[in-house]
Amino acid sequence: VILKFNQNLDGIQEFPTVALRVRINFLWRFTVLMCLTISSSGKLL
C-alpha cells in the first residue's frame, strides 16, 4: 500500500509538466494551422 501511495505522489508531481507539454503542443499546432489557413486564404483572395 505504501509503495502504491508513493507511485501516486510521483504521478501527481509529474502531472503538471505533462499537462503543460500537451498544452504547448496543442497551442503550437493550432498556431501553425491558423497561419496555414490565413496564408492559403490570402492566396485565394
- Would you list the domain boundaries of the chain? 1-45
pLDDT tens string 1-38? 556 656 666 655 666 777 888 888 999 999 999 999 98
- H or E element that contains 5: helix 2-44
pLDDT for residue 29: 94
pLDDT for residue 11: 58
User: What whole-number distance in Å separates Cα of residue 7 and Cα of residue 18?
Assistant: 16
Report whether pLDDT(45) > 60.
no
Of 14 and 41, more confident: 41
pLDDT for residue 17: 79
